[in-house]
Amino acid sequence: MTPRVVIVGRPNVGKSSLFNWLVEKRIAIEDPTAGVTRDRLVQRIALDDRVVDLVDTGGMGFDDPDGLTARIDAQIEAGLAEAALIVFVVDVRAGLVGIDTEVARRVRRAGAPVLLVVNKADAPAFDAQAQEFAALGFGSPLVVSVRQNRNRGRLIDAIVARLPPRHPDEPETADLPEMKLAIVGRRNVGKSTFVNALAREDRVITSPVAGTTRDSIDVRFEVDGRSFLAIDTPGLRRTKSRTTDIDFYSTHRAQRSIRRADVVLLFFDATEPIGKVDKQLAETITEESKPVVFVVNKWDLYAADVKKREWAEYLRDTFPTMPWAPVAFVTAKTGRNAKATVDTAQRLFRQSRERVPTARLNTVLRDAVAANQPPADPRGRPVRLYYATQVEVAPPTIVISASGPRSVSDPYRRYLLNTFHDALPFTEIPIRLLIRGRSSAEKSTGE
What CATH number does residue 394 fall under?
Answer: 3.30.300.20
The top-scoring range by mean pLDDT among 32-46, 131-145, 297-311 is 131-145
pLDDT score at 332: 94
Q: Which of 72-81, 241-250, 295-304, 337-346 comes out lowest in average pLDDT?
A: 241-250
The Cα–Cα gap between 194 and 202 comes to: 10
CB 447 within 8 Å of CB 413: no
> Cβ atoms within 10 A of the Cβ of 335, count?
15
- Same domain, residue pair 203 and 289: yes
Integer CA distances (angstroms), 255 to 18, 182, 223, 284, in order: 23, 10, 26, 7
Side-chain half-sphere CA neighbours of 355 within 13 A: 7
- The CA radius of gyration of the chain, in Å to the nearest whole number, is 26
Q: How many domains does the chain have?
A: 3
- Same domain, residue pair 158 and 286: no
pLDDT digits (tens, 9 = 90+) for 149-201: 999 999 999 999 999 999 888 888 887 667 999 999 998 899 999 999 999 88
pLDDT-derived band at 394, boundaries 50, 70, 90: very high
Is pLDDT above 80 for 420? yes
The Cα–Cα gap between 229 and 79 comes to: 18
Is residue 170 assigned to a domain?
no
- Same domain, residue pair 335 and 403: no
Is residue 365 assigned to a domain?
yes
The Cα–Cα gap between 389 and 396 comes to: 10
Q: Which of 223-237, 286-300, 330-344 comes out lowest in average pLDDT?
A: 223-237
Mean pLDDT of the chain: 89
The pTM of this model reads: 0.82
CB 53 within 8 Å of CB 22: no
Residues 280-289: contacts with CB under 8 Å, at least 24 apart: 280/236, 280/239, 281/184, 281/185, 281/186, 281/236, 281/254, 282/319, 282/322, 284/255, 284/258, 285/184, 285/258, 286/321, 286/322, 286/430, 288/258, 288/259, 289/395, 289/430, 289/432
- Same domain, residue pair 298 and 252: yes
Is residue 189 assigned to a domain?
yes
- Same domain, residue pair 104 and 226: no
Which residue, of 336, 352, 368, is where some domain finishes? 352
- Same domain, residue pair 123 and 145: yes
pLDDT-derived band at 213, boundaries 50, 70, 90: low
Which residue, of 352, 384, 411, is where some domain finishes? 352
> Parallel, antiparallel, or unpaired for β 114-119 and 179-184?
unpaired
- Same domain, residue pair 155 and 257: no
Integer CA distances (angstroms), 257 to 1, 170, 172, in order: 26, 27, 25
The Cα–Cα gap between 343 and 337 comes to: 10
The residue among 447 and 376 whose pLDDT is bigger is 376
- Same domain, residue pair 43 and 136: yes
- Same domain, residue pair 76 and 111: yes
- Same domain, residue pair 313 and 370: no
Q: Give 17's strand partners.
A: none
Is pLDDT above 60 for 110? yes
Is residue 174 assigned to a domain?
no
Average pLDDT over residues 421-433: 97
Average pLDDT over residues 227-243: 71
Which residue, of 352, 369, 402, is where some domain finishes? 352
Which domain does 103 fall in, by range? Answer: 4-162
pLDDT-derived band at 25, boundaries 50, 70, 90: confident
- Same domain, residue pair 319 and 382: no
The residue among 215 and 322 whose pLDDT is bigger is 322
Is residue 173 assigned to a domain?
no
pLDDT digits (tens, 9 = 90+) for 284-298: 999 999 999 999 999
pLDDT digits (tens, 9 = 90+) for 37-64: 767 888 999 999 999 999 999 889 878 7
Identify the CATH number of the domain in which residue 12 sits: 3.40.50.300
Is residue 13 assigned to a domain?
yes
Average pLDDT over residues 63-80: 85
- Same domain, residue pair 135 and 218: no
Is residue 171 assigned to a domain?
no
Is residue 231 assigned to a domain?
yes
279: amino acid identity, one letter: K
pLDDT score at 249: 63
The Cα–Cα gap between 430 and 282 comes to: 12
> Cβ atoms within 10 A of the Cβ of 310, count?
10
